[in-house]
């Protein structure tokens, strides 16, 4: 199938799609990257497991037995870093859907090698996020009272509560993103099954579901992927919109804002796509053969997306900010004054520097967009900035309310350990997955190789994509 | 105010005669088994008091006057805290027309507290203890709340219920003045008036109709049941 | 005469498509051959009859079920246990669209997923031939015929550029 590879001029080989290798070779590269497990890997797994066990579950169980009070929340700030982390990880989870569904629907070809890497982020981001509504509950041992099922208490959840919406939206998103991760994985599982032995063979055999690659199997699978790609996009938008409604439907000054839905979605994609860049950088630096699959063109394309989303984030931010500043009432002005000049104003200002100033000053340059380590630094800063955005919204806005007598400060305590613990959980799950499932969707890359060709137009060769769907 | 629906209870607080003595806060704590959490926790914003007496300065030095404003749950008719609870732990009472908090149903999302414009709700951050001999003070009529649930002023619903039961047993209506929440009972200047708003002749209805009266954040549409009287020298 | 299963492996789509024609010319019926590949190819690319799938119908049924469960949750549970909150009407319509949307989508996506599995799983876990070269990017034509026909087919397929033409065993993967 790679006969057209011979007559591709050198200048196009920089692009993965014009640098095809035989499927066999790509399979072997992906398999080898999964099998290569060094000492550093086990150290990382060990340390992360320890952090997860102690800093996340240890501290959480301590708080369950001793009381919420070991966290730093108090009367005006009833939701602390727990909800900040919740919103942050939900945001990270938007990356996978964005990259693999939206870019798939719009046939953006650069998505091909890293759709799976992004979908894994969705799943594990949701795993981290999904814990927080539980960690945050005062009485987590009765969390199941939120689940709608016929029960002896004769009580159903309140379907008018945004928390019930949240619960259903996250359930929907988690289930559908798991299925959406799994469907395109089946052919790759079959590939792994065909070249594994021992326990790996058993696992891949089960997960491949006896996949052979018949016409019928492909036709049905592609139909399902197509339905999923279209349907999961509105689900993704709804999830973060509903998260924003947790705040926006309230009567709180600074939260009650009609712009919160798109503002949150944009912020989520900004931090999610930045996080994809971070993951790709790490994968490329630590896993074998990934320099073939993940190339500078991919960083370049992602960085452009980040720049666009940084701009739209700024647009929504300014919408939200200006209206409060200009026509807001007295409490709104006090609230803004606390953000801009209060004791924690540095968080608000850093948010603006990291989310707007840094990407705008750097990402316009093609040279920067093609320097992975620099992008890693910028993406990290953007994610810090987006984390600060949630800190501002969840913990700083409530400090000022309509009763100056009830104003207050917020200092996180045990939340800090749990936050570190859930970051470790995400990294740990990702680390384990990177050696258990093929991180590159090989069949999608090969399909891309088939679809790309050079067309001679006059005297010039023009890269051309055939629509094979 | 026009005659309210049957069974509506209301309160009037006369800020002109409130001395800010905090007796209501103490009485409330004793009546409702409110734990004492200590100075540090209270300073950090975790005091459990269901009433806070806000001291506001009015005027400019040297013409300064302290005005006291006791704020508790306003028992809104359209309470913002109610719809956001996922498990119906806080809801509207169809008989008393006050805002109920069901401790046993609460799972501790703290959403209600975030959506209360009066910042009137308190959360049990820990399992609080009553060191001896304070444990002997516990009121048997009121649930002692465990850690992880929300609580707030109930208008001393246990007293309302008892009076209603007694009146029903005797086949009559609850008489004006028969029910007094702990705060009103303890107030040395009689600045807190409590009673039925649905009886236009009750003391609280008359006071609530006063020209000095205003309700906190009424423009939010919460329909609060507490009226504050404040008018300086203007009495009527 | 006993029939057996055979596989012919090809490196490219064009050869495969013409090889299918050659098999047909020899007299192998359309439903006695099957193409397996490591990347998806449409039926039209291979010149094969179109495939019908019920995935879309499954999705529709799932969406309807999801919608009905959202109605039950939004209005049915209120009827079971009417509790008044925040001055809202008991049957408030405005806030119900959120759960209606979520549950409809959830029903649709679950049905799509399990619909595909239901339609394929018996096929996938049945006794069928397979060759691991498929996941290496080879395209395999699997066909069933008697030995006489196979002798002719083998020559014809090799002429079309088959890298291997051999007998295969059916098994469960």
Q: Is A69 on the interface with B (CB under 8 A)?
A: yes
- Over 70: is that where the pLDDT of C90 sits? yes
| C135 contacts on A by Cβ (under 8 Å) | 23, 27, 187, 190-191, 194-195, 213
Measure C170 CA to nearest chain A CA, in Å.
Answer: 12
Residue B150, strand partner residues = B123
Determine contact, residues A276/A95, Cβ cutoff 8 Å.
yes
Q: Residue B208 and residue B3: Cα distance in Å, rounded?
A: 11
Listed in sequence order, the residues at least 6 apart from A394 whose beta carbon sits closer than 8 Å to its beta carbon are A79, A80, A81, A83, A84, A87, A247
| Mean pLDDT in residue range B89-98 | 90
DSSP letter assigned to residue C90: T
Total number of domains in chain A = 1
Confidence of residue A327 (pLDDT cuts 50, 70, 90): confident
Burial degree of B193 (CB within 10 A; 0-12, 13-18, 19+): buried
Q: What is the residue whose two structure tokens read 């003045």?
A: B177
Residue B233: predicted pLDDT: 54
Q: Do A212 and C130 touch (CB under 8 A)?
A: yes
Q: Is A171 on the interface with B (CB under 8 A)?
A: no
Residue B59: predicted pLDDT: 85
pLDDT tens profile A175-191: 999 999 999 999 999 99
Q: Residue A397 and residue A410: Cα distance in Å, rounded?
A: 11
The gap between the terminal CA atoms of chain A, to the nearest Å, is: 18
Closest CA in chain A for residue C86: A160
pLDDT tens profile A316-325: 999 999 999 9
Query: Which residue among C51, C96, C109 places its CB closest to the CB of A228?
Result: C109
Q: Do C86 and B223 touch (CB under 8 A)?
A: no
A420 vs B5 pLDDT, higher one: A420
Confidence of residue C51 (pLDDT cuts 50, 70, 90): confident
The CA-CA-CA angle for residues B61, B66, B72, to 5°, reads 145
Residue A1 lies in a domain: no
**Domain limits for position A129:** 20-465
Q: Do C87 and B85 touch (CB under 8 A)?
A: no
Q: Is C80 on the interface with B (CB under 8 A)?
A: no
Strands (E), chain C: 3-10, 33-36, 128-129, 139-146, 164-167, 170-171
- Over 50: is that where the pLDDT of B22 sits? yes
Question: Which site among A162, A214, A232, A440 would you substitute to test the C interface, given the most C Cβ atoms closer than 10 Å to its Cβ?
Answer: A214
Tell me whether strands A460-465 and B9-14 are parallel, antiparallel or unpaired: unpaired
Give me chain A's average pLDDT, please.
93
CA distances from A420 to A58, A81, A384, A427 (A): 12, 11, 14, 11
Total number of domains in chain C = 2
CB atoms within 10 A of CB C82: 10
Query: Which residue among A205, A218, A446 places its CB closest to the CB of C137?
Result: A446
| Mean pLDDT in residue range A444-469 | 89
pLDDT tens profile B161-192: 999 999 999 999 899 989 999 999 999 999 99
| Mean pLDDT in residue range B46-71 | 91
Residue A456: predicted pLDDT: 87
**Nearest CA among A274, A266, A267, A265 for reference residue A303:** A274
Say what the pTM is. Answer: 0.94
Residue A158 lies in a domain: yes
Provide CATH code, domain B9-229: 3.30.70.20
| C9 contacts on A by Cβ (under 8 Å) | none
CA distances from B3 to A374, B9, B196 (A): 70, 12, 10
Which SS3 state, helix, strand or coil, does residue C8 take?
strand
Determine contact, residues A116/A187, Cβ cutoff 8 Å.
no
Task: Tell me which residues of chain C, numbers 18 to 37, contact chain A at a CB-CB cutoff of 8 Å.
Answer: 34-37
| Mean pLDDT in residue range A445-450 | 92
Q: Is A179 on the interface with C (CB under 8 A)?
A: yes
Q: Residue A329 and residue A105: Cα distance in Å, rounded?
A: 44
Confidence of residue A3 (pLDDT cuts 50, 70, 90): very low
**Nearest CA among A223, A224, A358, A242 for reference residue A303:** A358
Q: Are residues C106 and C73 in the same domain?
A: yes
Q: Is B102 on the interface with C (CB under 8 A)?
A: no
Extract the tokens encoding A315: 């647009």
Q: Is C83 on the interface with B (CB under 8 A)?
A: yes
| Mean pLDDT in residue range C62-76 | 95
Query: Which residue among A155, A224, A231 places its CB closest to the CB of C55?
Result: A224
Determine contact, residues B115/A252, Cβ cutoff 8 Å.
yes
CB atoms within 10 A of CB A465: 12
Q: Do B88 and C88 touch (CB under 8 A)?
A: no
CATH of the domain at C163: 3.30.70.120
Chain B with chain C: Cβ pairs closer than 8 A = 28
| Mean pLDDT in residue range A8-20 | 87
Q: Is A181 on the interface with C (CB under 8 A)?
A: no
**Domain limits for position C147:** 3-52+127-171
| B223 contacts on C by Cβ (under 8 Å) | 87
DSSP letter assigned to residue A410: -
pLDDT tens profile A150-173: 888 888 999 999 999 999 999 999
| Three-state secondary structure string covering chain B | CCCCCCCCEEEEEECCCCCCCCHHHHHHHHHCCCCCCCHHHHHHHHCCCCCEEEEEEECCCCCCEEEEEEECCCCCCCCCCCCCCCCCCEEECCCCCCEEECHHHCCCCCHHHHCCCCCCCEECCCCCCCCCCHHHHCCCCCCCCCCCCEECCCCCHHHHHHHHHHHHHCCCCCCCCCCCCHHHHHCCCCCEEEEECCCCCCHHHHHHCCCCEECCCHHHCCCCCEEEECCCCCCC
Residue A131: predicted pLDDT: 94
Length of chain C as a residue count: 173
- Over 90: is that where the pLDDT of A4 sits? no
Give me chain B's average pLDDT, please.
91
Task: Tell me which residues of chain C, numbers 45 to 64, contact chain B at a CB-CB cutoff of 8 Å.
Answer: none
Q: Do A227 and C55 touch (CB under 8 A)?
A: yes
| Mean pLDDT in residue range A107-111 | 90
Residue B5: predicted pLDDT: 58
Provide the residue ranges of all domains of chain B, joining segments of one domain with +. 9-229
| Mean pLDDT in residue range C86-99 | 91
Residue A152 lies in a domain: yes
- Over 60: is that where the pLDDT of A5 sits? no
Q: Is C88 on the interface with B (CB under 8 A)?
A: yes
Q: Do B107 and A158 touch (CB under 8 A)?
A: no
Q: Are residues C20 and C65 in the same domain?
A: no
């Amino acid at each position: 199938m790679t006969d057209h590879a011979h007559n591709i001029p050198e200048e196009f080989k920089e692009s993965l799609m014009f640098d095809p290798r035989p499927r066999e070779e790509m399979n072997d590269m992906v398999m080898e990257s999964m099998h290569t497990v060094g000492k550093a890997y086990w150290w990382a797994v060990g340390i992360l497991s320890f952090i997860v066990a102690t800093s996340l579950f240890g501290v959480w169980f301590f708080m369950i037995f001793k009381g919420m009070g070991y966290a730093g929340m108090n009367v005006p700030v009833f939701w602390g870093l727990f909800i900040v982390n919740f919103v942050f990880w939900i945001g990270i989870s938007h990356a996978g859907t964005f990259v693999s569904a939206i870019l798939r629907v719009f046939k953006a070809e650069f998505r091909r090698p890293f759709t799976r890497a992004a979908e894994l982020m969705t799943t594990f981001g949701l795993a981290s996020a999904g814990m927080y509504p539980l960690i945050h509950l005062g009485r987590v041992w009765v969390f199941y009272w939120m689940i709608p099922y016929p029960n002896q208490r004769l009580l159903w959840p309140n379907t008018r509560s945004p928390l019930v919406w949240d619960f259903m939206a996250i359930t929907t998103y988690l289930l559908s993103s798991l299925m959406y991760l799994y469907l395109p994985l089946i052919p790759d599982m079959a590939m792994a099954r065909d070249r594994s032995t021992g326990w790996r063979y058993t696992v891949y055999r089960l997960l491949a579901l006896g996949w052979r690659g018949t016409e019928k199997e492909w036709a049905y699978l592609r139909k399902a992927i197509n339905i999923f790609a279209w349907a999961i996009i509105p689900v993704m938008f709804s999830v973060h919109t509903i998260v924003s409604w947790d705040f926006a439907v309230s009567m709180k000054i600074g939260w009650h804002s009609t712009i919160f839905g798109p503002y949150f979605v944009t912020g989520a994609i900004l931090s999610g796509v930045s996080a994809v860049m971070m993951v790709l950088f790490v994968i490329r630096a630590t896993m074998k053969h990934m320099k073939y699959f993940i190339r500078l063109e991919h960083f370049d394309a992602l960085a452009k997306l980040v720049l666009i989303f940084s701009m739209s984030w700024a647009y929504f931010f300014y919408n939200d900010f200006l209206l409060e500043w200009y026509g807001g009432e007295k409490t709104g002005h006090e609230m803004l004054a606390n953000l801009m000049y209060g004791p924690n104003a540095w968080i608000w200002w850093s948010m603006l520097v990291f989310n707007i100033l840094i990407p705008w000053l750097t990402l316009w340059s093609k040279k920067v967009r093609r320097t992975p380590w620099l992008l890693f630094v910028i993406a990290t800063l953007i994610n810090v900035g987006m984390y600060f955005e949630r800190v501002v919204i969840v913990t700083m806005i409530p400090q000022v309310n309509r009763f100056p007598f009830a104003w207050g400060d917020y200092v996180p305590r045990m939340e800090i350990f749990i936050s570190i613990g859930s970051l470790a959980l995400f990294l740990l799950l990702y680390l384990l997955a990177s050696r258990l499932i093929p991180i590159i969707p090989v069949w999608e890359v090969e399909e891309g190789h088939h679809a790309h060709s050079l067309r001679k137009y006059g005297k010039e060769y023009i890269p051309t994509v055939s629509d094979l769907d | 105010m026009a005659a309210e629906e049957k069974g509506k209870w209301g309160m009037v607080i006369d800020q002109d005669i409130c001395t800010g003595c905090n007796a209501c806060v103490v009485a409330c704590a004793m009546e409702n088994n409110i734990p004492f959490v200590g100075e540090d926790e209270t300073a950090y914003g975790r005091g459990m008091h269901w009433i806070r007496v806000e001291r506001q300065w009015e005027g400019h030095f040297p013409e300064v006057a302290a005005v006291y404003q006791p704020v508790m749950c306003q028992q809104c008719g359209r309470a913002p805290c109610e719809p956001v609870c996922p498990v119906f732990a806080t809801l509207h009472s169809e008989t008393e027309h006050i805002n109920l908090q069901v401790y046993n149903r609460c799972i501790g999302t703290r959403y209600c507290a975030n959506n209360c414009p009066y910042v009137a709700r308190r959360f049990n951050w820990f399992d609080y203890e009553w060191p001896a001999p304070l444990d002997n003070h516990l009121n048997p009529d009121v649930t002692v709340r465990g850690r992880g649930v929300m609580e707030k002023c109930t208008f001393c619903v246990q007293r309302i219920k008892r009076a209603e039961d007694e009146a029903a047993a005797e086949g009559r209506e609850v008489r004006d003045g028969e029910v007094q929440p702990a705060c009103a009972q303890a107030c040395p200047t009689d600045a807190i008036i409590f009673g039925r708003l649905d009886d236009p002749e009750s003391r609280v209805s008359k006071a609530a109709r006063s020209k000095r009266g205003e309700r906190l954040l009424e423009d939010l549409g919460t329909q609060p049941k507490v009226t504050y009287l404040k008018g300086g020298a203007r009495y009527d | 005469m006993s029939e057996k299963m055979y596989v012919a492996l090809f490196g490219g789509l064009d050869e495969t498509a013409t090889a299918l024609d050659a098999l047909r010319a020899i007299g192998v019926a359309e439903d006695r051959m099957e193409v397996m590949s490591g990347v998806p190819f449409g039926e039209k690319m291979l010149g094969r009859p179109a495939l019908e799938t019920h995935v879309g119908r499954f999705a529709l049924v799932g969406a309807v079920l999801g919608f009905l469960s959202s109605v039950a949750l939004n209005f049915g549970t209120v009827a079971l246990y009417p509790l008044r909150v925040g001055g809202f009407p008991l049957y408030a319509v405005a806030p119900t669209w959120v759960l209606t949307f979520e549950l409809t989508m959830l029903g649709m996506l679950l049905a799509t997923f399990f619909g595909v599995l239901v339609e394929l799983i018996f096929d996938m876990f049945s006794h069928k031939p397979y060759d691991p070269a498929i996941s290496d990017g080879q395209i395999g034509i699997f066909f069933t015929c008697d030995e006489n026909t196979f002798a002719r087919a083998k020559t014809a397929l090799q002429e079309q550029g088959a890298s291997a033409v051999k007998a295969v065993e059916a098994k469960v993967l």
